[in-house]
Structure 1
């Protein structure tokens, strides 16, 4: 059975709420799911999964979450060829750079060889429509299942 790992960082709880909903979608689709809230988990662990979901809030003027910085740097050592990836995040449109962490993490997954079958999910602050997040997780799980059946 294909396995999915979800790694996220949350400061105010918004990204954690999104992670829970995305995870629900993955689980509802019948996938085995492991969740790590940073700083727990090691980047090398990503190589053990068929699907990788990363989630982060965008901090300040378009910066990756502090909790993600070391993890992000250590991802340079990974070979994620053959893996599917997805990225979600929370942000605030009051800043010029909205949810840039999603783009930063998406680019890193691609650089390391992963394929991204879905556009990154960008949520302003907290999710208003929970089903959007659940559907994102479910859709990703279905993509992983179709490739790794």
Structure 2
């Protein structure tokens, strides 16, 4: 199976913790993971991978974090067909738009021809308890979806 690129942005550590849990789920299925902070990823990095998971916290009223804006803008300029994605994120339900960064990323993936293997995973603030298990399962489910699509 191909490697999975796991890209995340985290301010407080919550989304990074979620990325670690997703990575754990992928690894239990025998998937090799290249996990990178979004500030270390550009268009050429995305082009190297067929299977990509993106993780972002939501900033303010449903926005992508600043760290993700360059990559998002780059994604709008290329054809993502032939690539399989999943998106996860953390957010605060106190805002009108909950985990809007997940929705924004999924929208650009669909618009540019990428395939979403899973419905996006949204977690309130920090992945604890059931959300910890859901995050690990998200990685497992992505790995299984790749095997099926194979």
For Structure 1 versus Structure 2, the TM-score category normalised by the shorter chain is over 0.9
Greater shift after overlay, 47-56 or 130-139? 47-56
1:78 aligns with 2:91: no
- The superposition leaves residues 30-82 of structure 1 with CA deviations (integer Å, 9 ceiling, x where unpaired) of 11111110211112322222211001000111110110011110112322212
Q: Give 1:117 deviation, angstroms.
A: 2.1
Give the secondary-structure state (helix, strand or coil) at the position aligned to 2:16: helix
TM-score (norm 2): 0.93
Aligned positions, number: 148
In the alignment, which residue of structure 2 is the partner of 1:124?
124
What stretches of structure 2 of length at least 5 have no aligned partner?
none
State whether residues 8 and 15 of structure 1, in contact with CA within 8 Å, keep that contact through their aligned partners in structure 2: yes
Query: Separation in 2 of the partners of 1:113 and 1:45?
Result: 18
Query: Separation in 2 of the partners of 1:142 and 1:45?
Result: 24
TM-score (norm 1): 0.94
* Root-mean-square deviation (Å): 1.1
In the alignment, which residue of structure 1 is the partner of 2:60?
60
State whether residues 50 and 144 of structure 1, in contact with CA within 8 Å, keep that contact through their aligned partners in structure 2: no
In the alignment, which residue of structure 1 is the partner of 2:44?
44
Distance 1:83 1:117, change over 3 A: same
What stretches of structure 1 of length at least 5 have no aligned partner?
none
Give the secondary-structure state (helix, strand or coil) at the position aligned to 1:77: coil
Greater shift after overlay, 4-13 or 40-49? 40-49
In the alignment, which residue of structure 2 is the partner of 1:98?
98
Distance 1:14 1:36, change over 3 A: same
